Amino acid sequence: MLLPVEEVHLQQVERELLEEKAHALGRIGSRLVELSQKLADLWARWTAGDLTVAEPYVQTRREFMLYLWYWHVQREAVGFRTHPPPETWLFVPPPLTTDSPRS
């Protein structure tokens, strides 16, 4: 049998959960910024003709896309629906084409 919970205790738990969701959103956002910066550098090198960056680019882009998805899920969990998504303020990496750069 469940014991009755005082409203103030329930509100405290809800507040703590919301705070943790917000902190998680911040951590995800920080990682997205790091990955975006790394991808911008790799992209610049790729477009300059450096073929050695293909694999690191693909792996980093995969992680970026995963963290972007995490960000959208966490944003919904926190209740932010009117804020601009990261796609509007970060470098969103395009997939590499099968052609080499500068073809």
Half-sphere exposure of 24 (CA within 13 A, CB side): 17
With both helix axes pointing from N to C terminus, report the angle between 7-47 and 54-78 in degrees, rounded to the nearest 10.
Answer: 160
CA–CA gap between residue 72 and residue 38 (Å, rounded): 21
Question: How do residues 49-103 score in pLDDT, each as one tens digit?
Answer: 999 999 999 999 999 999 999 999 988 888 877 778 888 888 888 898 754 555 4
CA–CA gap between residue 55 and residue 58 (Å, rounded): 5
Q: Which structure tokens are listed for 48?
A: 């300059």
The confidence score (pLDDT) of residue 71 equals 92
Q: Which structure tokens are listed for 99?
A: 């052609």
